[in-house]
Amino acid sequence: MRKISLVFTFLFALLVSLSGQKSEEKTVINVFDSYKTSILNDKGEEAVNYVDSRTIKYYSDMLDLARNADSVKIEKLSVLDKIMVFSIRHRTAREELLSFDGKSLLIYAIKSGMVGKNSVMNNSIGEVTIDGDFAKGQLVVNKQITPINFHFYKEDDQWKIDLTSLFPVSEVALKKMVDDSGQKEDQFIFSILKMLTGREPGPEIWQPVKNLQ
Cα 107–Cα 189–Cα 94 angle in degrees, nearest 5: 45
pTM of the model: 0.86
Tell me the pLDDT of the chain (213 aa) as tens digits.
555 554 444 444 444 444 445 688 999 999 999 999 999 998 889 999 999 999 999 999 999 999 999 999 999 999 999 999 999 999 988 888 889 999 999 999 888 888 767 778 889 999 999 999 999 999 999 989 999 999 999 999 999 999 999 999 999 999 999 999 999 999 999 999 999 889 999 999 999 987 765
Q: Residues 6 or more apart from 62 whose CB is under 8 A from it?
A: 81, 84, 85, 88, 105
Domain holding 174, by residue range, is: 2-211
CA nearest 159: which of 57, 68, 29? Answer: 29
Q: Report how far residue 74's alpha carbon sits from residue 101's, in angstroms, rounded to the nearest whole number.
A: 20
How many structural domains compose the chain?
A: 1
